[in-house]
Structure 1
Amino acid sequence: MKNIFTALILFLAIGANAQDLNKTIEDPNRHKQVMLNLCTRDSVTSFPEFKASYDANYSNYKVDSTVINELSKLMKGKKVTIVLGTWCGDSKYQVPNFLKIMDAAKINNESLKFIGVDGMKKAENGLIDSLNITRVPTFIFTDKKGKEVARITERPTETLEKDMLKLLVVQPKKVAAKTK
């Protein structure tokens, strides 16, 4: 009986957490459905409000193939949190481009975390409270320890690829000259 009770509690706990994944709500500010909280890549890219822009922008984006090998190396051991609004024009444009770059660099989906926000750039349960999100999309690159190492907010300065290269390149440590 104890095992059945434990299994039931575990099932309910997993079920409760699964309900928050790919959550959609009616945004009170935008008066439309938006994705909120943790999402999968598939759910974001197939979300009706996002899909048409995603499909067109992903297929039309020309990846700068001259930097893909270097980006692939720089991304080793890194994860990216993508905070986006499925309602947001910049997200609809930049996220497909970013994902096409990640695909070209052969970065697996396990290295990417998607968080949807509402029109006030908020998520539930403190999910993004410590991330200092002011605009979307925001691409936050973290190292193996979870420490933020780079960030692109809203749109790149040059191109996504060039900005990532500049931000992710490890600067050589300055060696102090010894004086005698």
Structure 2
Amino acid sequence: MKSILVTVLFICSSMIFSQEFNKEITLENGKKFLLGKINLDGLNSEPYQAWFQQQHESYDVDETLIKVIKKPLKGHQIKLFLGTWCGDSKREVPRIIKILETANFPMKKLEIVALDRRKGLVKTSPTGEEQGLNIIKVPTIIFFKDGKEVNRIVESPIESLEEDTVQIVSGKPYTPNYATLSKTK
């Protein structure tokens, strides 16, 4: 009897704490966007697949810099905030995903959160993953090590995604776009 009760409690708590991935919102004008935690399946579904795959396939990764970041990158966790409605996100997100894949980054250490665009909810998520992280522009790619923010790339890289990532994971000085507005470190 005790084991049945434990099993029921475990299933109930799992259902409460699990979050739906790839939730889609449709606006009154028919436009759609993803909201909340998403994964690559969401980005590879219609209507997002068109821009995601085109940018992902056409981007030439700097293999020389991948060799530099491959090992130190694995010691980091990454939170990627984007808007599937945002032009900068449509350009940069497929590229950073391709870089991470090329570097064999453990994708379980990547959390992707799609933010809202609706009035009064702009740059928020249903479960508040952005809270306390000062997300002012998307995409924002935040690098964490041992649970602490190391640095971030905001909206677009300073040099290139690979070069900026080298600076961040190597612990070299790096100042992201909008640093006066962003909380970095």
Q: TM-score range by the shorter chain?
A: 0.7 to 0.9
Q: 1:105 Cα deviation (Å)?
A: 0.9
| Residues 1:48 and 2:46 aligned together | yes
Structure 1 gaps of 5+ residues are: 173-180
**One-letter identity of the residue aligned with 1:56:** Q
Q: 1:134 Cα deviation (Å)?
A: 0.5
Q: Which shifted more, 54-63 or 107-116?
A: 107-116
Preserved CA contact (<8 Å) 2:84 2:90:
yes
- Matching residue within 69, 72, 76 for 2:70: 72
| Residues 1:150 and 2:168 aligned together | no
**One-letter identity of the residue aligned with 2:171:** V
| Secondary structure of residue in 1 paired with 2:15 | helix
Cα distance in structure 1, aligned partners of 2:67 and 2:32: 38
Partner residue, 2:141 = 139
Partner residue, 1:17 = 17
Q: How many equivalent pairs are there?
A: 169
Cα distance in structure 2, aligned partners of 1:50 and 1:27: 15
Q: Give the helix-richer structure, 1 or 2.
A: 1
| Residues 1:166 and 2:167 aligned together | yes
| Secondary structure of residue in 1 paired with 2:24 | strand
**One-letter identity of the residue aligned with 2:147:** G
Identical aligned residues as a percent = 34
| Secondary structure of residue in 1 paired with 2:142 | strand
Partner residue, 1:36 = 35
| Residues 1:93 and 2:91 aligned together | yes
Structure 2 gaps of 5+ residues are: 174-185
Preserved CA contact (<8 Å) 1:41 1:109:
no
TM-score (norm 1): 0.84
Q: Which shifted more, 123-132 or 96-105?
A: 123-132
| Residues 1:130 and 2:135 aligned together | no
| Secondary structure of residue in 2 paired with 1:167 | helix
Q: 1:31 Cα deviation (Å)?
A: 5.4
| Residues 1:108 and 2:110 aligned together | no
Q: 1:141 Cα deviation (Å)?
A: 0.3
Preserved CA contact (<8 Å) 2:74 2:106:
no
- RMSD of aligned C-alpha atoms? 2.1
Q: 1:97 Cα deviation (Å)?
A: 0.5
Structure exhibiting the larger radius of gyration computed from Cα positions:
1
Q: Which shifted more, 18-27 or 117-126?
A: 18-27
Preserved CA contact (<8 Å) 2:144 2:150:
yes
